[in-house]
Amino acid sequence: MPFTPFHFGPGIVAKACAPHRFWLSTFVAANVLIDLEVLYYLHHGEAPVHRYLHTYIGGVAMGLVAAFGMFAVTVLLIRCLSVDSRWMQEQRSVPKGKLLRESMFAGLLGGVSHVLLDSLMHHDMNPLWPFAQGNALAGTIEVGTLHGALGLTGFFGVILWLFLR
Ligand SMILES: [Zn+2]
C-alpha cells in the first residue's frame, strides 16, 4: 500500500523491546522495498498494483535484500568511519555473523509482516503465489480499523522506546 509508514509500528515495538539488537533500519528498508512495486504500478497506471513483491516469497526476498544491504552498509561504516561513537563500539564488539543474523531477522519480520498486513485489506493480492491464487484474508478487517491499530502500535512503540531508554 502507499501508506508504508503504517507498517513501521510493529518494528518500533520490537525496537523498544530489544533496542540494541533489533535492526529497525532493516525492517523499514524491507517495507519500503516492497511498496516500491505499488508506486511503480500506480505511476504507470497499471492494475493490479500488488503483484510479486506482495507475496510471501516476494516479502522474504525483499527482507533478505534489505538485510544484506543494511549489513553491508553497517560493516562499511564500522571499517571506514574514524568516528568512534557508542554505536560503533557496540557494533564492533559483536561478531559479524551475529550482526548478519540480527539484520536477517528484522528483514524477514519486515517482509512477512508487510505481506500479512496488506493481505488483510487488498483484494488484488495473491500472497501465496505461486502455490495458490486469490486472497482469502482480504476484507477481514476494516481498513480504518487496521490503520488505526497500526498507528496506535507505532505511537505506543515510540512511547515504550522512550520510556525503556
Ligand atoms: Zn504494501
Query: What is the per-residue pLDDT across 77-88, written as a single tens digit (0 to 9) for each?
Result: 988 887 778 888
At 1, the pLDDT band (50, 70, 90 cuts) reads very low
Query: Which pTM was predicted?
Result: 0.93
Q: Please report, as a single letter, which amino acid is at residue 13.
A: V
Give the distance (Å) from ligand 1 centre to CA of residue 73.
24
Give the distance (Å) from ligand 1 centre to CA of residue 34.
6
Domain ranges of the chain: 13-156
Contacts of 12 (CB under 8 A, 6+ apart): 24, 153, 154, 157, 158, 161
Give the distance (Å) from ligand 1 centre to CA of residue 84.
37
SS3 53: helix
Cα 80 from Cα 74, distance rounded (Å): 10
Residues 102-135 have pLDDT tens digits of: 999 999 999 999 999 999 999 999 999 999 999 9
Q: For a pLDDT cut of 70, what percent of the chain falls above it?
A: 98
